[in-house]
């Protein structure tokens, strides 16, 4: 009978220890669940930040392409203005020469 009582006590102790272990594991599980919730929220936030960064990068790339296009266009226009200024200078010189020749012709044609 004593052996049965000892065995029962031994089983009770084992059951108490097992119950304590279960409670400890449940606490750890709750902590881990809390960590998972926090990490999931951080992950979602990071994904949102990543998407925002990707959108900003795409916008910056579009702006860079627009800048390059404007830069090229600006250079072409600068060259065109320079060419037109050179043509204007040539036309002005030609007009000055023509006026000078006209004055000379008028001076020769004028009665003395």
Q: How far, in Å, CA of 107 to CA of 99, rounded?
A: 12
Q: What is the pLDDT of residue 112?
A: 59
Q: How far, in Å, CA of 79 to CA of 87, rounded?
A: 12
Which two three-digit tokens encode residue 67? 């800048």
Q: How far, in Å, CA of 87 to CA of 84, rounded?
A: 5
Residue located via tokens 């000379």: 104
Q: How far is CA 41 from the centre of its chain?
A: 23
Exposed / middle / buried, residue 20 (Cβ in 10 Å: 0-12, 13-18, 19+): exposed
User: Rounded to 5 degrees, what are φ and ψ at 91?
Assistant: -65, -40
Under DSSP, the state recorded for 110 is S
- H helix intervals, the chain: 2-109
Which two three-digit tokens encode residue 17? 């220890």
| Tens digit of pLDDT at every position of the chain (112 positions) | 888 889 899 999 999 999 999 999 999 999 999 999 999 999 999 999 999 999 999 999 999 999 999 999 999 999 999 999 999 999 999 999 999 999 999 988 876 5
């Amino acid at each position: 009978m004593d052996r049965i009582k000892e065995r029962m006590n031994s089983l009770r102790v084992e059951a108490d220890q097992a119950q304590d272990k279960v409670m400890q594991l449940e606490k750890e599980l709750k902590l881990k669940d809390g960590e998972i919730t926090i990490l999931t929220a951080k992950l979602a936030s990071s994904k949102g930040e990543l998407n925002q960064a990707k959108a900003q990068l795409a916008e910056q790339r579009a702006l860079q392409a627009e800048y390059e296009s404007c830069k090229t266009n600006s250079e072409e226009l600068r060259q065109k203005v320079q060419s037109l200024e050179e043509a204007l200078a040539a036309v002005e010189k030609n007009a000055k020469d023509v006026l000078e020749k006209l004055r000379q012709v008028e001076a020769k044609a004028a009665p003395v």
